[in-house]
Amino acid sequence: MKALARTLRRNATEAERVLWKYLRAHRMEGYKFRRQYVIEPYIVDFLCIEANLVVEADGGQHLEQAGEDESRTEYLESLGYRVLRFWNHDILTDTQAVLEKIHTYLNNIPSPQPSPGGRGGKGGEAR
């Protein structure tokens, strides 16, 4: 799976390249995003572990696999992730609206609660 993820990173779609320009290097609210990240048995387009957020860029093939995408989303949500899906067309033609939706989500996630041991900070707890 990791080899496939590397190949997907090297062969990103235009929409993925555009979105990555805004998500990489802590550019989105200071959050770190990874691209083409393996969450077995899937590879997600973008992942922010800290915010439990998966961002998917969907092309035309997703019209034909809506059921598969729904199952995938349900599985990821069962692991505690929030999944935001955007059509490639929207990423390319209305980039600011897509970024605003991601921005809004990141600004509205609850702060992590301190662990019972009294240590604060960001944990891997599902929100």
Digit-coded pLDDT (tens) for 31-79 = 999 999 999 999 999 999 999 999 999 986 645 666 788 999 999 999 9
Question: Would the pLDDT of 113 be above 60?
Answer: no
As a whole number of angstroms, the distance between CA 41 and CA 126 comes to 19
**Which phi and psi (to 5°) does residue 36 adopt?**
50, 65
* Domain positions in the chain: 2-107
DSSP letter at 50 equals T
CATH architecture of 2-107: 3-Layer(aba) Sandwich (3.40)
122 Cβ contact partners less than 8 Å away, ≥ 6 residues apart: 50, 112
As a whole number of angstroms, the distance between CA 96 and CA 66 comes to 25
Mean pLDDT of 21-28: 96
The residue length of the chain stands at: 127
